[in-house]
Amino acid sequence: MVALSSFVILSTTVFVIGLIGVMIRRNFLIILYSIELMLNAANINLVAFARYTHTLTGQVVTLFVITIAAGEAAVGLAIIIVLFRRRSSTNVDQLNLMRW
């Protein structure tokens, strides 16, 4: 049996990788993927604590988080496609949304 601390360490590592990706990268796609990593880190924590406490609450919440993440990815990719068609760039620094 895997200890709870192993899951927490894994979740923290994945979350930090996602956070660094959001803070450092300037490409919309990389930022979107990094946000997905952060949500998956939260899911790992929820499932680990649900397993540790022998309840299904964490797993049910995880299903909702996965559903919201899928919607967020679809909307985010649609926005990226529209911005790329208008500006030919996915770099966050080169986009000025106030001027079209």
Please, which pLDDT band fits residue 12 given cuts at 50, 70 and 90? very high
Interval 75-96 mean pLDDT = 78
How many CB atoms sit inside 10 A of residue 38's CB?
19
Residue 30, domain member (yes or no): yes
Interval 38-58 mean pLDDT = 92
Identify the pLDDT of residue 89: 74
Question: Three-state SS string across the chain, please?
Answer: CCCHHHHHHHHHHHHHHHHHHHHHCCEHHHHHHHHHHHHHHHHHHHHHHHHHHCCCHHHHHHHHHHHHHHHHHHHHHHHHHHHHHHHCCCECCCCCCCCC
Residue 93, domain member (yes or no): no
**Structural domain count of the chain:** 1
Residue 37, domain member (yes or no): yes
100: pLDDT strictly greater than 60: no
Residue 13, domain member (yes or no): yes
Residue 77, domain member (yes or no): yes
54: pLDDT strictly greater than 70: yes
Q: Which two tokens stand for residue 58?
A: 């964490």
Residue 94, domain member (yes or no): no
Range of the domain at 38: 4-87
